[in-house]
Structure 1
Amino acid sequence: MIGNSGIRQAAGQPRQGLLLKWSWRELWHGQLWPVAVALTLIIACVFALAALVVRVEKIMTDQGRSVLAADLVLVSGNPIAPSLISKAEELGLTLSQQTRFGTMTFSEDQMQLVSVKAVEGDFPLRGELVLQSLQGKRNRVQPGELWLAERLFSLLEVKQGDVVAIGDTELKVSGKIEQEPELSFNPFSQMPAVLIHYDDIASTGAIQPGGRVQYRAYFAGSDDKLAALQQGIELQPGQRWLSETTQGRTGELIERARQYLSLTLILVIMMATATLVLTCQHYTSTRIETVAMMKSLGASKRWLWQWLSGQLAMLFSLAAVAGVSIGWGLEALLRLPLADVLPDPLPAMGFSPLLISLLVALLVAVPGVGISLIRLLDTPAISVIQQQADWPKPRKGYGLLLFPVAAALIWFGDNKFMWMTLAGLAVVLLLLAILGVAVVSLLRKGKWGPAMTLALSRIGRSRLTTGAQLAALTSSLMLLAVIWLLRTDLLADWQHTLPVDAPNVFAINISPDQQQRYLADLDKNRVPRSEGYPVIRGRLVAVNNSDALGEEQDPQQRDEALRRELNFTWRDTLPVHNQIVEGEWTTTSGVSVEAGLAERLGISLGDELSFNVNSQPFSATVNSIRLVEWRNMRPNFYFIFTPDVMANLPATWLVSFRIEQDQNELVNQLGRDYPTVSLLDLRTMASRIQLMLQQVSLSLSVLAGVGVVSGLLLVMTLLRLSLSQRQQEIKLYRTLGASKKRISATVWGEYGIMALLAGIMAVAGAEAVVAALVKWGFELPVQWHPTLWLILPVAAIGMVLMMISTMLRQLLQPLR
């Protein structure tokens, strides 16, 4: 403790050395170390999550563009216009063209329908093309070459060097396509692929007027030039752009994981900020006499600012170093479960995570610390001899709140998800505080023992204080529960979306006379399979006799389902993995529509829909609306008809089944026994998605653990500050003759009741907030969590009483 002479010396002639020494002593022996912990937690979490998001976004962009084989792709039903090529060249973009068409290929003994991709010599612009021949590996297609998908070698019964006819030309087989960047996960449109050079298209003679041909232009370049190209080109009917944001089966998974990361980050910042504010308020209350004494000895406000500024500068510097160091390690920990799916080397994170974490901490600290310290500096000198609990509070300090508020407006912008979360939390906390006060008032009307009566009296003495304490304790528990419940619901959804027994092989183009034998062979080998589905391709052309294509002038504005042929099927019964949400399943003159498409196109029960299949028109009445989970790798359809509507149309059959890694021979045998049936083997892709689900789940669990730690820190701070404020009251009780046992029982009863109420209200609040977020934010089905109603209140009581047990012994120690 520094004596009066030291204070006079410091106040009269400030010495930087003494000021620094005193600031350092105050930092560690005062009440500021919890502030440093809170700031460290904020910086560490923001740094780790920002770094992870930066890396993931770069990886997602790179991987998405690798799957596209370019940065941007134009898909067209007509040849690419020379004006578009000239525009791309003017912008300095790299361009590569491709033409796709279906045709028959003929070997000496076999024939097969294939998808021909005629590519230029610089294809692909992104990703990797691997071509395997007896001479080694290649990654470019040259004129006169023919590269086959691996299964075509057995279907056509050819080997490298054999001649295969494509249209009017004959080409020697150059080798097999081992890997190509463009992946298609649509089992209905999958045909075995062959690659030829762009210059060989004319010699095939396969492209005829009226034929189904697709033209693609691949572009690579900077984002601003790509955007300029898109803005400068008016799309024609049958044209559309493809980018990394429109591709990728796992895009929704990653997007929801990013939403969870962002939301958890906000909740962790909120809890750490609450810890910061409470600690600063307690620090202010413990330093009133010190500041008043220094003022009475002649210390000016300027000198006090220097004294406090030194402490804050050291505090923020220590928190920044510790936070960035911990954040670096935390980011590595969050990334560790994703090691198998992240590329090597990793994309650089840059300096943005460092700047963002320090800026967020500074914006939080400015009002969190500043308001309390401004009030502290306005302490009157007379407080040395007389407590001035109600000295004027400087309203100018609350202007500091404008800094984080302005930053939040800029950061969140029009992000309805975040604003909905914050508004929901505010409303729920207010309602819970009011409810808590009402419950305490009801409890006080009952008859209890002396200790419990005194505890309830202590709780209900000030409704404002009780409401604030209950709201603070409830909010910490509720935010903790929200983080964990969202994680649980996301993981449950992903597990439901792609269970471990999900199908991973599709057999398509099964002829009607093969269908029963094919299913029997699967059953004989005990292969888990779906039912067989008849499949035929067609278009929706009208809704209630109104042209479905004519209402939108811009083809790009049409729904994706109207821009292409769809896959139709018919059944007597509802698929087991679909759910009726409107209407009922019928067996005659009807069609069941997928719920999302029905909502987008305004289709309702009873509407008459007109279709066209192979130039044959027909219509059906909407009898039901179905909920379809498109991500579960099962056969799913926009439209399912009753058998009488389409039974006379020619169709092939589809079945999906699950093959384990040790059943490769069975897949090969099916290919030999049914050479006309196309097998789409998705085992590699399914395993990849499963692995990603597991690893993202681990990362979310680590992140949820960070949220739990921040919540526990807030609860500990609340209890520690609340009990320290009770110290004088406990001394008064002892002076008036209360026994240690009676005081302990009263304190235990008071905080036990508050813990029970806070636990119950936290569960109710968490269920409400999570239900809103899940329904309108993540667009998932709402689930309730009955076990949480037991676990959280019991855990809250146990945690609170355990902390009180330790702290209470310290408070009662001087009275022994």
Structure 2
Amino acid sequence: MWVKLALKLFSREFQRGELSIIFAAIALAVLTVFSLSSVTERIGLNIEQKTSDFIAADRRLSSNHAISPEILEHGKALGLQTAKMIYFDSMLFANDELVLGSVKAVSNTYPLRGEVTLKDSLDGQPYEIRGAPEVGQLWLSEGLFYSLGLKVGDSVELGAGNFIVGKVLVSEPDAPFFSLAGNRRVLLNYEDIAATGAVQPGSRVFHRLLFAGEEQLLSEFYTWLKPQMKANQTWQGVKDRQSPLGDNLMRAERFLLLAGLFGIMLAAVAMAVSAKRYCERQYDPVAMMKTLGGSRSVIRNIFLLHLSLVTGFSILVGLLIGFVLQHIGADYLAKFMDAELPAAGFRPWLISIFIGIVCALMFSLKPLLDLFDIPPLRVLRRNLGDQLTLSRLHVGLSLVTIFLLMWMFSAQLVTTLILFGSTLLVIAVLFALSRLIFSAGRKLGLSPGSSWSLAIATLQKRANANAIQLISFALAIKLMLFLVVLKNDMISDWQMQVPEDAPNMFLINIAQDEVQPLTSFFEQHNITHEDFYPVFNARVDSINGEELERRVSQQEGEQEQKDENERRGVNREPNLTWLSQLPQGNEITEGEWFSNNTVDGRIEVSVFEGWKEQLDLELGDTVGFLVNEQRFEAVVTSFRSVDWGSLKPNFVMILSPNMAGQIPVTYFSAAKLEDKHTKAISSMLQQYPTISMIDIKSRLEQAQSIIAQVSLAIGFVLAIVLISGALVLVSQVQASLAERMQEVVILRTLGAKGKLIKLATLYEFLLLGAIAGLVAAIVSDIALLIIQQQLFDVAGKMHPYIWLLGPLSGAGFVSVIGYFMVAKTMRQNTQGLLRKIA
């Protein structure tokens, strides 16, 4: 019996629009979460595929000794794609010339991700393929052609074997971003390793196994592999690489995660406000049903069925709209990315349905319980039950639900706490501020009959309701400001890391008598280049006379040992130089740059601040260096910050100019080449075959392409969040339409003109938006500072401009949306409004 009544009431209320708010809120929550989750997952999968090109696989196992064949076989048995690689150095001989080359032997399945770029001749057009050289052939980089006087088809000796030069090797997907091997790289078929005779017991050889496949299979394989790995073996993905690209990929994923959290927060706010408002609208019908004999259980069943029906229908509609939205968005992004985005998995569907159900249940539970407690006497005394509208339990339950949903979605407690804490701060500040401002409305002394006076009086009259509106507006504005500023900061930071004028070629091993001819060559061809820096390698041997630790290896395959009593050092010999002027992109953070007249001819050194803690250095310390068998000391006079991302020549340690002449050096420079310079630079390298060129142009283009894709993806996600924020504002204004109708009727009855009411309404939304925007801007800036430092590992900074942008955008955004939402109401005549109210 009650089911039939419930369905009849449901149909009537749905036709009247009584359920539209809660329906729209649940649908908003579902479509927001689904579209954000799907798009971000598809973009993330695409970015991971692209960035996997940098290691030619999804994962790789690296070792400095032979890897057990069982590992490769187990990977194949699981269904993973595999490839084998070995790195070693060996001499190449041809045309009476002898050159040391960096050899990479690969199996025929190489590369698993990305492609190798080749040319059929030095003057040929580059093209991309997958695969290894044929047995008996070599692919050589351009520098070896010049050094050995070769052309494609010639014979060359590598170690003990004779091989045919098959192709010109332009680039490999997993080539090191910066390598002293430069343009002396050799690609060899794995089956030809034995023919070279270069790999013998005790040889310095590096082994790698490449794996590609589904993430689940890779995780399962790593679970099996981990217990068997030696201490000197590493399991890597692109995110594990210590490079600007790996860092940027992690930052992009964290940003997309933040966007998803903001979408959930906005949808939850809309749902909480809508559920509360819907239940308030049912107070009178429930009181009437109880007066006519309806039991509490019947009323409970009726409204629980209503909630179930509207939840199921809204989740279905939300999923449908979200699917269409993410499909359109993904196609749009794929067009600009020039790539087909992988399909998303089941996670967006499951999490969207789950969040829709949780929102409907948790945000409606307490208002529904209050609804069942409405006394029948409310029919006669309309204010009975109003005290239930400000339930602290409902507020607390809503906040806990939002926190748990954010935590579940992000799986990062720190991130959730920062965002949730900043939201609570907005709520607290706005409650206090709204009380202060609205209670002072009557003391402003504005002239009777003015629109401003009426607007402030209206704000004061609905202080509690306006406080809730302020919080909703401020949260939407805060989240939008947050994403806009963070997006701009991230993209600006990425562009600084790979600037447009960044060098794309490095020249190393330049003799002193070759510096002037090279300078003239660059000037003649209008090639932008950096200075020529003297360079030498040195070991940091001691500090203040105390020797640094030396690592001592036992038998091959065993763990390294070190003397724990010695001071910690560094594991590499850095490139050092001497300069008279502080290089561009460097900034003194402590101490002073070299003086013109050094005391007693002592050598001074300026140290990269990242090595200050690593070596436990202080100003005035004496650092001992070892170059071959020659030792010298230098006094630390300053620490520097270094912009490594500029790709300009930079050094961890710079010595004072009086170091010149004491150590034999070669010179190092960088230049930005264009396609038109290719022939000229090739001729120059033929003329100076001892110079090595490191071409990173393709690597830069690949990195910049991925950054552009991430930026576009972030822009799309930001658009979704902005739309969600606008819908939250719409739902909040819509919830107050009934009360505003009553005010318009009363004001018209008292003789107020239409212009006065319209301006008062506009001013009311202007004030609400400006106040909400100001508080949102200040709190957002504080939260941004923390997020940038804790989540993105960058030096945070304040953004004073958003303190002005927040109030202006808030006032404009809220007033436009709010005014047009109530404009239809104000255009109706009094008789029509009375009918709607009734």
- Asked whether the two chains share a fold, i.e. TM above 0.5, the reply is yes
Q: Is the deviation greater in 253-262 or in 781-790?
A: 781-790
CA positional deviation for 1:748: 4.7
RMSD: 3.9
Q: Which moved more, 1:121-130 or 1:790-799?
A: 121-130
Contact 2:102/2:186 (8 A) holds in 1: yes
Could you say which residue in structure 1 is the equivalent of 2:580?
A: 572
Counterpart selection for 1:27 from 14, 26, 42: 14
Summarize the Cα distance change of 1:242–1:696 in structure 2 as closer, same or farther, 3 Å threshold: closer
Q: How does 1:172-187 map to 2 (within 5 A)?
A: 172-177=164-169, 180-187=172-179
Q: Which residue pairs with 2:239 in the alignment?
A: 245
User: Does 265-274 or 119-128 show the bigger shift?
Assistant: 119-128
Write the letter of the residue equivalent to 1:526: N
SS at match of 2:230: coil
Query: 1:703 aligned to 674, 698, 717, which one?
Result: 717
Cα distance in 2, alignment partners of residues 795 and 414 from structure 1? 31
CA distance in 2, matches of 1:672, 1:33: 76
Q: In the alignment, is the contact (CA less than 8 A) between 2:160 and 2:198 conserved in 1?
A: yes
8 Å CA contact 1:529–1:656 kept in 2: the answer is yes
Cα 1:347–1:132 change in 2 (3 A) is same
Q: Given that residues 429 and 775 in structure 2 are in contact (C-alpha distance below 8 angstroms), is that contact kept between their aligned partners in structure 1? A: no
Letter in 2 for 1:754: L
Pair 1:571–1:187, CA change in 2 (3 A): farther
Q: Which residue of 1 aligns with 2:810?
A: 796
Match of 2:424 in 1: 426
Q: Which amino acid aligns with 1:535?
A: V
CA–CA separation in structure 1 for the residues paired with 2:687 and 2:432: 73
Deviation at 1:455, TM superposition (A): 4.4
Question: How far off is 1:342 after superposition?
Answer: 6.1
| Correspondence 1:300-699 to 2 at 5 A | 300-336=295-331, 338-339=333-334, 346-387=341-382, 388-390=384-386, 405-438=403-436, 445-450=443-448, 451=450, 452-453=452-453, 455-460=455-460, 467-545=467-545, 548-549=548-549, 562-586=570-594, 589-645=603-659, 648-699=662-713
**Relative to structure 1, is the Cα distance of residues 41 and 376 closer, same or farther in structure 2, using a 3 angstrom cutoff?**
same
Partner SS for 2:654? strand
Q: Conserved in 1, the CA contact under 8 Å of 2:93 and 2:158? A: yes
Q: Distance in 2 between matches of 1:654 and 1:263?
A: 43
| Counterpart residue identity of residue 50, structure 1 | S
The answer for the alignment partner of 1:3 in structure 2 is: none
In the TM superposition, what is the alpha-carbon distance from 1:85 to its structure 2 partner?
Answer: 4.7
Change (3 A) 1:619 1:143: farther
Amino acid corresponding to residue 738 of structure 2 in structure 1: S
Post-superposition offset of 1:300: 3.2
Q: Secondary structure at the match of 1:379?
A: coil
Q: Work out the percentage of aligned pairs sharing the same amino acid.
A: 28
Distance in structure 2 (CA, Å) of the matches to 1:490 and 1:576: 22
**Structure 1 residues 15 and 433, CA, compared in 2 at 3 Å: closer, same or farther?**
closer
Structure 1 residue 555: Cα displacement: 6.3
Match of 1:230 among 226, 229, 246: 226
State the distance in 1 between where 2:454 and 2:398 align. Answer: 40
Match of 1:5 in 2: none
Q: Distance in 2 between matches of 1:328 and 1:357?
A: 11
Q: Does 1:714 align with 2:756?
A: no
C-alpha spacing 1:329/1:635, structure 2 compared with 1 (3 Å): farther
Output the TM-score relative to the length of structure 2: 0.84
SS in 2 for 1:562: coil
Change in CA separation of 1:314 and 1:477 when aligned onto 2, cut-off 3 Å: same
> Could you tell me how far apart the structure 2 residues matched to 1:174 and 1:809 are?
77
Question: Are the structure 2 counterparts of residues 396 and 126 from structure 1 closer, same or farther at C-alpha, using a change threshold of 3 Å?
Answer: same
Q: CA deviation at 1:185?
A: 0.8
C-alpha distance after superposition, 1:44-85 (max 9, x if no partner): 2322332234334444554555543455444444x327xx45
Q: Distance in 1 between matches of 2:333 and 2:97?
A: 45
Residue equivalent to 2:93: 106
User: Quick check: 1:69–1:218 contact (8 Å CA) kept in 2?
Assistant: no
2: CA distance, partners of 1:726 / 1:435: 23
Compared CA separation, residues 100 and 336, structure 1 to 2 (3 A): same
Show the counterpart of 1:7: none
Deviation at 1:514, TM superposition (A): 1.0
Cα gap change, 1:229 to 1:650, in 2 (>3 Å): farther
The 8 Å contact of residues 609 and 621 in structure 1, kept in 2 or not, is answered as yes
Give me the whole-angstrom Cα distance separating, in 1, the residues matched to 2:83 and 2:513.
Answer: 43
**1:283 correspondence with 2:278:** yes
CA distance in 2, matches of 1:199, 1:731: 90
Does the 8 Å contact 1:545/1:608 carry over to 2? yes
1:352-406: CA deviations, max 9, x gaps?
Answer: 2111222222222322233222222322222222221346688887668766554
- Of stretches 779-788 and 22-31 in structure 1, the one that deviates more from structure 2 is 779-788
Contact 1:574/1:585, CA 8 A, preserved across alignment: yes
Query: After superposition, what is the alpha-carbon deviation per residue over 1:305-354, rounded to whole angstroms, capped at 9, x for unaligned?
Result: 44334433343333333322333343344444653786865433221211
Q: Residue 196 of structure 1 corresponds to which residue in structure 2?
A: 188
TM-fit CA distance, 1:21: 4.5
- SS of 1:339's partner is helix
Instruction: Mark the runs of 5 or more structure 2 residues left unpaired by the alignment.
Output: 122-126, 212-216, 554-558, 832-838
Q: Given that residues 335 and 699 in structure 1 are in contact (C-alpha distance below 8 angstroms), is that contact kept between their aligned partners in structure 2?
A: no
Shift of 1:409: 4.4
Deviation larger for 660-669 or 89-98: 89-98
Asked whether the 8 Å contact 1:493–1:780 carries over to 2, the reply is no
- Asked whether the equivalents of residues 532 and 654 of structure 1 are also in contact (C-alpha less than 8 Å), the reply is yes
SS at match of 1:158: coil
1:218 is matched with 209
Aligned residues: 796
Matched to 1:690, the amino acid is Q
Structure 2 residue matching 1:650: 3-state secondary structure: coil
Matched, 1:171 2:163: yes
Unaligned runs of 5+ in 1: 1-12
Q: Which moved more, 1:779-788 or 1:472-481?
A: 779-788
After TM superposition, give the deviation of residue 142 of structure 1 in Å: 5.3
Per-residue CA deviation, residues 239-265 of structure 1 (Å, 9 max, x unaligned), is 544433323652222222221111122
Hey, what does 1:145 align to over in structure 2?
Answer: 137
Post-superposition Cα deviations, 1:535-571, rounded to whole Å, max 9, x if no partner, equal 3334444455555546999769999993334333332
Change (3 A) 1:338 1:662: farther
One-letter amino acid of the counterpart of residue 771, structure 1: L
Separation of aligned partners in 1, 2:701 and 2:332: 16
- Code of the aligned partner of 1:230: K
Give CA deviations for 1:210-230 in whole Å, capped at 9, x if unaligned. Answer: 97x232131547433334323
* Higher alpha-carbon deviation: 385-394 or 200-209: 200-209
In structure 2, the partner of 1:14 is 2
Q: Tell me, yes or no, if the aligned pair for 1:593 and 1:640 is still in contact at 8 Å.
A: yes
> Is residue 23 of structure 2 the alignment partner of residue 36 of structure 1?
yes
2:825 paired with 1:810: yes
For 1:187 and 1:341, the matched residues in 2 are separated by 33
**Structure 2 contact 239–247 (Cα < 8 Å) conserved:** no
Structure 1 residue 461, shift from structure 2 partner: 5.7
Deviates more, 1:545-554 or 1:789-798: 545-554
User: Which AA in structure 2 matches 1:363?
Assistant: V
Structure 1 partner of 2:777: 763
Structure 2 counterpart of 1:794, one-letter code:
L
| Change in 2 beyond 3 A, CA 1:187/1:202 | closer
Contact 1:590 1:620 in 2 (8 A): yes
Does 2:50 correspond to 1:54?
A: no
Q: Equivalent residue of 2:690, what SS?
A: coil
Summarize deviations over 1:734-789 as a string: whole Å, max 9, x none.
55666666655654544433333223223222222223322333233445545544
Check the 8 A contact 2:777/2:802 in 1, yes or no: yes
Is the CA contact (8 Å cut-off) linking 2:510 and 2:666 kept in structure 1? yes
Go from structure 1 to structure 2 and tell me whether the alpha carbon gap of 1:432 and 1:667 turns closer, same or farther (over 3 Å shift): farther
